[in-house]
């Protein structure tokens, strides 16, 4: 389940050219802009046969078959759906004044199980479609990688519960001011973008552990990965 980022975000080193980290970005609009560029570059490299795709199918002997790359790339594969919404209204994802509308629209939408989707051309509906597609992609990759099925059981239901709690948070008087204070402190308030980012990060880590370590993901060798909050931390601690 995605969680609200009440703790401060650690600031990793700047991303490398051949890397898909986010260079310590914490401002939501900057992250969305970086995501757009990363998705375009990643899909171009995949189309040109640079890497095994999806990332969860990679072996240790494949290019970028290490656990950190699989974690990074799996998260990016899921988040791409948001970046591919055709008629964007990014305020729905990051503007405090629009969160209630976006969350209500998402919760009204009927969940789907598709990863191949058709957008409607209406941003508030398409973001909901994209969020479900992102979560379904993670379920798909979890199955391919052999991740613990219990950790992927009820993914959509779990995220909907997160959104319900977020709706309650935004309904509290002064929520917008609290949001600004959290952003200034490099914390992550429950903006829809941050909630999906956290969910994709957490589940992509489980997928990467299963792909890279298999049954050994329960052993001490994977402890450093399990303790990390973001794939960028693996480079810092390495």
Burial class (CB in 10 A: 0-12, 13-18, 19+), 138: buried
Overall size of the chain counted in residues: 238
Contact, 165 vs 113, CB < 8 A? Answer: no
| Global confidence as pTM | 0.89
Burial class (CB in 10 A: 0-12, 13-18, 19+), 44: exposed
Q: Block means of pLDDT (10 residues each) for the chain, length 238 residues?
A: 45 50 87 95 94 96 94 97 95 98 96 91 97 97 94 94 98 98 96 98 96 72 84 72
pLDDT score recorded for residue 221: 59
Q: Which residues pair with 5 in a beta bridge?
A: 188
């Amino acid at each position: 389940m995605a969680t609200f980022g009440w703790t401060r975000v650690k600031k990793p080193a700047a991303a490398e050219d051949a890397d898909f980290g986010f260079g310590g970005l914490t401002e939501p609009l900057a992250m969305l802009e970086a995501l757009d560029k990363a998705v375009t570059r990643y899909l171009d490299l995949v189309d040109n046969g640079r890497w095994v795709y999806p990332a969860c199918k990679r072996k240790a002997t494949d290019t970028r078959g290490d656990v950190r790359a699989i974690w990074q790339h799996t998260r990016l594969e899921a988040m791409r759906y948001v970046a591919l919404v055709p008629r964007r209204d990014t305020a729905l994802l990051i503007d405090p004044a629009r969160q209630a509308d976006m969350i209500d629209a998402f919760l009204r939408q009927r969940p789907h199980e598709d990863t191949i989707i058709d957008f409607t051309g209406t941003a508030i509906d398409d973001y909901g479609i994209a969020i479900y597609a992102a979560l379904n992609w993670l379920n798909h990759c979890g199955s391919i990688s052999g991740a613990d099925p219990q950790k992927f059981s009820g993914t959509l239901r779990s995220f909907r519960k997160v959104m319900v709690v977020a709706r309650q948070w935004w309904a509290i008087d002064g929520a917008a001011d609290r949001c600004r204070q959290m952003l200034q402190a490099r914390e992550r308030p429950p903006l829809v973008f941050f909630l999906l980012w956290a969910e994709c990060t957490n589940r992509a880590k489980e997928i990467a552990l299963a792909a890279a370590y298999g049954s050994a993901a329960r052993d001490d060798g994977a402890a450093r990965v399990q303790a990390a909050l973001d794939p960028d931390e693996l480079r810092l601690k390495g």
